[in-house]
């Protein structure tokens, strides 16, 4: 059974000193899970920030993701070894296939087999996927077996609730990690979310994160500001009511913000 932390730091779009500062501040504040990816171009800076911190490696949960150009059997494991060198660690806790990239001329069977091989070699403790549909999850399970996929990391927020996929994943015992939980900040000005926040003396961001946490999803919000990093952490203590959850459920509008043509599948 997989163990994926419920709360972590996302590092998408953070580069150079910005990601070093974000990771350093987060570790000071008590974050212990960090999410990165080969495509983010910031693994080395994250490794630098971790090395400079007082936090021991075994207290951390590190996730990285395999880029679409490293899917082939001859590239996946070497690319992960490069990621480990950048992160200054002997292993990561979780490695995901970042995008299914079906137009990439590397079969799902090839890259899922290579990912399982990376786990067998001890380079990663757990394996999983990101941006996978129901059909693709089924195909992945056929390759690596039941119980091997620790999570599917998907775009998920009150404007894109992905209920069909969520229901399937939960029925299959596959943990859900929500990214873009704040919908690139679009949720922060939503009157419904703001009203709920006012009822709880909370922020709109805390409401969105608490919504996802209550539904059992892991969240990985990012920020470069200390006050926001601290405030986001406090979402874990926010207990939304059934009324709150019902009002948020009604915000669904199928608003997908991340949909790269050459990488994305046909969504459910």
Residues 20-68 have pLDDT tens digits of: 999 999 999 999 999 999 999 999 999 999 999 999 999 999 999 999 9
The token pair at 86 is: 């950048």
Q: Binding site: residue ranges? A: 98
Residues 116-134 have pLDDT tens digits of: 999 999 999 999 999 999 9
Q: For the chain, what is the radius of gyration of the CA atoms?
A: 18
The Cα 133–Cα 101 span in angstroms is 12
Number of domains forming the structure of the chain? 1
In a domain, 266, yes or no: no
Pick from 259, 233, 229: nearest CA to 19: 229
In a domain, 25, yes or no: yes
Q: Tell me, what's the pLDDT at 2?
A: 59
Does the predicted TM-score (pTM) go above 0.95? Answer: yes
* pLDDT of 1 strictly over 90: no
Main-chain phi, psi angles of 56, to 5 degrees:
-75, 150
What percent of the chain is modeled with pLDDT above 70? 99
The Cα 104–Cα 89 span in angstroms is 29
Residues designated as active site: 40
- By three-state DSSP, how is residue 22 classified? helix
Q: Provide the domain limits for residue 126.
A: 9-183+217-222
In a domain, 252, yes or no: no
Q: Binding site for substrate: residue ranges? A: 98
CATH classification at residue 145? 3.20.20.100
Report yes or no: 151 and 2 within 8 Å, Cβ to Cβ: yes
Average pLDDT, the chain: 97
Report yes or no: 25 and 53 within 8 Å, Cβ to Cβ: no
In a domain, 227, yes or no: no
* pLDDT of 195 strictly over 60: yes
């Amino acid at each position: 059974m997989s163990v994926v932390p419920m709360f972590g730091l996302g590092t998408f779009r953070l580069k150079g000193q910005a990601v070093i500062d974000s990771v350093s501040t987060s570790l000071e504040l008590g974050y212990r899970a960090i999410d990165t990816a080969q495509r983010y171009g910031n693994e080395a800076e994250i490794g630098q920030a971790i090395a400079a911190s007082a936090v021991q490696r075994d207290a951390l949960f590190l996730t990285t993701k395999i880029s679409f150009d490293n899917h082939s059997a001859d590239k996946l494991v070497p690319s992960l070894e490069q990621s480990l060198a950048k992160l200054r660690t002997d292993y990561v806790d979780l490695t995901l296939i970042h995008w299914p990239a079906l137009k990439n001329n590397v079969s799902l069977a090839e890259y899922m087999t290579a990912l399982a091989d990376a786990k067998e070699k001890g380079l990663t403790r757990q394996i999983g996927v990101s941006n996978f549909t129901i059909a693709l999850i089924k195909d992945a399970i056929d390759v690596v077996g039941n119980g091997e996929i620790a999570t599917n990391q998907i775009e998920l927020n009150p404007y894109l609730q992905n209920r069909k996929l969520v229901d399937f994943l939960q029925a299959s015992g596959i943990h859900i990690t929500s990214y873009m939980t704040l919908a690139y900040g679009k949720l922060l000005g939503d009157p419904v979310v703001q009203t709920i926040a006012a009822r709880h003396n909370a922020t709109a961001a805390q409401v969105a994160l608490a919504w996802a946490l209550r539904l059992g999803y892991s969240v990985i919000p990012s920020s470069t500001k200390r006050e926001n990093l601290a405030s986001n952490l406090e979402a874990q203590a926010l207990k939304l009511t059934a009324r709150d959850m019902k009002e948020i459920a009604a915000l669904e509008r199928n608003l997908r913000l991340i949909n790269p043509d050459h990488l994305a599948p046909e969504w459910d």
